[in-house]
Amino acid sequence: MLSDNYTDLLKYFSIAIEEVVHTMAGFEISASKDPSFFLRDDSPRISGLMLLPSSKNAILSITVSLESASILVSYMTGIPVDELKEEDLYDGVIELVNMIAGRAKSLLIDTTHSFGLTAPFAIYGRDYELVLKKNVSNLSKKYVSGDLEIGFGIFFM
């Protein structure tokens, strides 16, 4: 089950997201000191989401601006930003959340945390935020590299 040992969980998901971005995009991200995982402005953004079924269900999310998504996908594929189509960005963010979940799952294999992987999906829009009711537990963090920002969150249902 996704237990209440959040430190463990956040630690391995952090390793997973850093590893995935570094391996696939070739650059490093680090955790921001900013306590909010909301992106810094109101530009259009994409969120990649995956339901992690477990005895305590959770939703994994990563949120990036279109610009950040373009950089990530450009670096993953070697295709220059101006040659990318919007679908490439959605597919890219979806695949990133897919790999992060998969990697975290293997890193957590010897712990008490176990969860399933489901089909990831994305939502896209301008100036939205993922807002939770006060008593919903969550782990959230922002990762940065230069101008790039990735809002990362796990929300327990």
User: Which is closer to other proteins, CB of 4 or CB of 147?
Assistant: 147
Applying CB under 8 A, among 45, 47, 60, 103 the residue interacting with other proteins is 103
Contact mark string toward other proteins, 49..68, x via CB under 8 A: --------------------
For residue 48, the one-letter residue type is G
Tokens representing 83 are: 């040659």
Among 6, 54, 91, 124, binds other proteins (CB under 8 A): 91
Contact characters 119-138, other proteins, x per CB under 8 A: x-------------------
Binding residues (CB under 8 A) for other proteins: these are 19-20, 23-28, 30, 70-83, 87-88, 91-92, 94-95, 98-99, 101-103, 105-106, 117, 119, 145-146, 148
